[in-house]
Chain A
Amino acid sequence: MTRPIVSLENIHKTYGEGASEVRALAGVDFKVMPGEFVAVMGPSGSGKSTCMNIVGCLDVPTLGSYRFMGVEVESLDREELAMLRRHYLGFVFQSFNLIARTGAAKNVELPLVYKGVPRRERRALAADALTIVGLADRLDHAPSELSGGQQQRVAIARALVTQPRLLLADEPTGNLDTKTSEEILNLMVDLNQTRGLTIMMVTHEPEAAAYAQRVLMFVDGKLVQDGPPEEVLS
Chain B
Amino acid sequence: MRLRRGATPYLLGLPAGLWLGIFFVVPIVTVLSVSLQTGNPDTGYALTWNFSIFGTVINQYHTELLRSFEYGLISTVIALVICYPMAYWIAFHGGRHKSTYLFLILLPFFVSFVIRTLSWQFILSDRGIVLGNLKSWGIIPSSLHVLSTPFAVIAGLTYNALPFMALPLYVALEKIDRRVVQAANDLYASPRATFTRVIVPLSSAGIFAGILLVFVTNVGDYVNAAILGGPGTTMIGNVIETSYLENLDYPTASALSSILMAAMLLIIWLYARTFGTQAVEEAVT
Asked if chains A and B come from one complex, the reply is: no
User: Which A residues contact B (CB, under 8 angstroms)?
Assistant: none
